[in-house]
Amino acid sequence: MAAASAVLTAGLLAFPAVVPNSVGRAGSLLETFLPWLGLVVVVLLGLALLRRSAVALVAVLLPVAAWTHHFGVLLLPAARAGGDDLVVVQHNVSDENTDPAGTARALAGAGPDLIALEELVPRALPEYEATLAARYPYHAVQGTVGLWSRHPLTGVRPVDIRPRGITEPWDRGLRAVVHTPHGEIAAYVAHLPSVRVRATGLASSWRDESARLLGEAVGAEEQRRVLLLGDLNSTVDDRGLSPLTAHLEPAERGLAFSFPAGFPLARIDQVMARSATVRHIRTLPATGSDHLPVAARITL
């Protein structure tokens, strides 16, 4: 039994796409929590040792190898920073955050070049603007998403990622060109629709449609270098983000589980790039949000 379970776990780790999305989006649900299959591997290893089964021990090596191949590289130390690196911070600050100024100070304290925020609400926006103004003289806000920068911004415009089923005002995407000392980069900030885990499975149709619209915008971007920062309500393993991962590369190092802040289970706050490299991503200390901020280093 332990050997068969080990082989099955290895298969799911190596080939999660074999699980279909036709019923309850089971494939996306598995991919969202794929790293946690490592706990199953630990349990199987314990059972094999308890039973002193050589067959089971050998079988457990299969999921160990699959997990290490898929996620082990993320745990390796990041390469040293170079002179052409940018540091960026991505954070869903929560529309219920009671300390916007404190959150802004905490994010600026990480010393980033760019700060992307989601769930900006009108009552809190002036506090973010006032707190960040001195260190980040350039910023753009579109609806509930915003970008603060040490470097000049041009070409600011909204990006329409609203699914057809949402009829109320819904403005969660922006694009701007950041003029860094190392060249221009098109920066996108986005907040995709939330998903829900229900008895019938994963409800993600709006998220998936919004990801497709954002993927089309990124794919049509004329700037060679592209940076995407946002709460994408998904992990990069989830096939629901394939319209984006087809155009952009995720971080080379770091797990950085960001949600929920109290007990992070997955990284749904993402930093991805085209014609640039996201060398490392990590979480920052908790703020007044239900998400943890993530900080990433970008090599242009």
Evaluate if residue 287 carries a pLDDT over 70: yes
- Average pLDDT for residues 21-42, to the nearest whole number? 91
CA-CA-CA-CA torsion sign (256, 217, 122, 203): negative
Give the contacts of 167 (CB within 8 A, at least 6 positions apart). Answer: none
Model confidence over 94-136: pLDDT tens digits?
999 999 999 999 999 999 999 999 999 999 999 999 999 999 9
What pLDDT is attached to residue 84? Answer: 65
Evaluate if residue 5 carries a pLDDT over 70: yes
Q: Alpha carbon of 72 to those of 69, 165, 233, 252: distances in Å?
A: 6, 39, 23, 11
Q: Is residue 81 very low, low, confident or very high in pLDDT (cuts 50, 70, 90)?
A: low
Q: Is residue 275 very low, low, confident or very high in pLDDT (cuts 50, 70, 90)?
A: very high
Element (H, E) at 91: strand 85-92
- Compute the distance between CA of residue 257 and CA of residue 271 in angstroms, rounded to an integer: 13
Closest CA to 254 of 25, 79, 4, 16: 79
What pLDDT is attached to residue 268? Answer: 98
Q: Does domain 85-299 have CATH number 3.30.870.10?
A: no
Which residue's entry shows tokens 């449609």? 209
Evaluate if residue 83 carries a pLDDT over 70: no
- Compute the distance between CA of residue 83 and CA of residue 81 in angstroms, rounded to an integer: 7
What pLDDT is attached to residue 202? Answer: 81
What pLDDT is attached to residue 90? Answer: 98
- Compute the distance between CA of residue 9 and CA of residue 38 in angstroms, rounded to an integer: 9
- Average pLDDT for residues 78-101, to the nearest whole number? 89
Strands in 294-299's sheet, in edge-to-edge order, are: 138-142, 145-149, 114-118, 85-92, 294-299, 277-283
Domain segments of the chain as ranges: 2-75, 85-299
What is the overall mean pLDDT for the chain?
Answer: 94
- Compute the distance between CA of residue 28 and CA of residue 25 in angstroms, rounded to an integer: 6
Query: Would you state the structure tokens that stand for residue 163, as one six-digit string?
Result: 């699914």
- Compute the distance between CA of residue 68 and CA of residue 192 in angstroms, rounded to an integer: 30
> Among 25-34, 41-50, 259-268, which stretch is predicted with the lowest mean pLDDT?
41-50
Model confidence over 214-271: pLDDT tens digits?
999 999 999 999 999 999 999 999 999 999 999 999 999 999 999 999 999 999 999 9
**Eight-class DSSP state of 17:** G
> What's the one-letter identity of residue 276?
A
* 49 or 246, which is more confident: 246
